Amino acid sequence: MKFSVKKIYKYVSRRYWDKIRKNIPAKANPRLTKPDPQMYNQIVRFAENFPVNTIKYGDEHLWPYLRNHLLVQLTALSIGKIDGATTKPSRLHLGTTENFDIDKKHELAKEYGFQFVEDIDSNEEVDFLFFTALNASEQVHVEKKIYYRVTDPVFEAAKRLSSAKKIELIRNISPAIKKTPNYYHRPDFIFSPHIKRIGYSDSINIKSNFFRYFRRFFPLIDISPKIINDLFDWELHTRDFYKDILLKVNPKVVFVPSFHYHAPLISAAKELGILTVDIQHGIQVGYNPLYNNWEEIPSEGYRSLPHVFMVWGQKEADNISKVFGKHSTAVKMGEPWVQKQFEFNVPISEKLMSRISRHSHVILLAMQSQTEVPTLFKTLISKGGKDILWLVRMHPKGKRYSVADFDPVNKNVVVSKEVDDIPLVSLLQYADFTLSEGSSIAAEGATLGVTALISSETGKQNYESEVKQGTFKYIHNLDSFKAAIDEDIGVNSGKNYTNEIALDAVLSDLLAIQKKQQHGDRVCG
């Protein structure tokens, strides 16, 4: 990569960045109970002021790769994690080779049946290929097995229709490896590469004022010529590794549960004429920068964005159309995980059922990425009424709390492994309300007639239409909470949920789209 050293040096001196790091604790906000949207606006403003589409490798735009890293780093910084200031090329993909040498990989291959990419059977016919992540937040425990709530319902439909396979990369030495024998649907476990391809950055030119603009819009994030070179080298190395896998498996359609963690895979698949699909895993409409604020997309699109977004409903489909236009299309799939939970029919324990039966109202409180329990939650629990039972469900990747963190006095709070691990529907069948700062649990509960209480401005923005219609209630203090409860709007239907959209038909449509693409017809993206 070519830079004007004299122009850049003053912006990337070690002394300057040491000074920046010292300022991080003051600028980052450890008391935020949710990532700060203002942080994400830095990405939008940067793309408005710097010509991000001039950053290319050959004919591929590289801005989405950098954007994905910035999103993850700003999320960390906004809740006070200083580590977010450091740009780590392997943060999103593949992991590092540190303490994971080839001998250790052979040892794990023998013990767990893991494979190297060269071991993949290239004679197996596969139409649908799914990628999952070790220790992902979509993991839930069902029938003493680990089930992937976003991926597996679609995977099961794909297997009913045609040939399907799952792949999961083993990126590093992780305690989660010990859980792999307990997967409900075992994937092919493939080791990340032990040889790193480099030199891509030698063919990338970046404008000399890049670092000046970067420092202006991302003052808390470390940057230098070496950092940006290493990042793009790693992303493109990852892309070519995925290309090796795809050439072996030769699928027609590839699915991922979060496209920003799979940009190199999507790029590799598109190069090979494979249809790429993102499966909705959480809220898309509102302040979420993953699915919004892509005004900088060039006319030819970005190779690292998926062809298709599989979404829950019309609200999300409209948003995808508005944001991505001709470059991607939305396909509605309903909420297959909600229906699947009824099929599992996991009962709650007698102990928990006994506590539920002793209260007139049950509220399922969903924690997210908070670094501390919001003051409003504590107030509602302590003063909202003793006839309310609070079931607190932790985020899989969030901080773990005890009952004392919510209310050290009252006995109407349940914090337990059962509430965290049991399929959500098992709890929603007994809940009158859900409460969160804007969790997707609000939407899932609504499918069963459980009224959602939203307690943050960003959550209110995410569910703007629902709040306006009155189906969701925005609460900001004790009085607004009591008004919602007294209105007795929480009318739980307690009925089964049947997904109105047939996944088999959706998947058949995806094969038809891929066939058109194969024959040279224009496909979005």
Token code pair at residue 483: 């008004």
* Prediction pTM value: 0.85
Structural domains of the chain ordered from first start: 348-487 (3.40.50.2000)
Cα separation, 415 vs 447, whole angstroms: 24
Cα separation, 341 vs 3, whole angstroms: 55
- β-sheet with 388-393: strand ranges across: 413-415, 388-393, 361-366, 433-436, 451-454, 472-474
CA 125 to chain centre: 29
Nearest to 310 by CA among 455, 448, 130, 482: 130
Burial 370-393 (b: 16+ CB within 10 A, else e): beebbebbeebbbebeeebbbbbb
Q: One digit per residue, pLDDT tens: the chain, 525 residues?
A: 554 433 443 443 344 434 444 444 334 443 444 556 677 889 999 999 999 999 999 999 999 999 999 998 888 887 777 878 887 888 777 666 666 788 889 999 999 999 999 999 888 889 999 999 998 889 988 888 999 999 999 999 999 999 999 999 998 888 899 999 999 999 999 999 888 899 999 999 899 899 999 999 999 999 999 999 999 999 999 999 999 999 999 999 999 998 999 999 999 999 999 999 999 988 788 777 888 889 999 999 999 999 999 999 898 999 999 999 999 999 999 989 988 888 888 889 999 999 999 998 999 999 987 778 899 999 999 888 888 999 999 887 778 888 888 887 778 899 999 999 888 899 998 999 999 998 888 988 888 889 999 998 888 888 888 888 888 999 999 999 999 888 764 444 445 565 667 888 999 999 988 887 765 554 555
Q: What are the beta bridge partners of residue 451? A: 433
Is 173 within 8 Å of 251 (Cβ atoms)?
A: no
Q: Where are the beta strands (DSSP E) in 349-449?
A: 361-366, 388-393, 413-415, 433-436
How far is the CA of 488 from the CAs of 49, 432, 447, 454, 484, in angstroms? 50, 9, 18, 16, 7
Cα separation, 323 vs 75, whole angstroms: 21
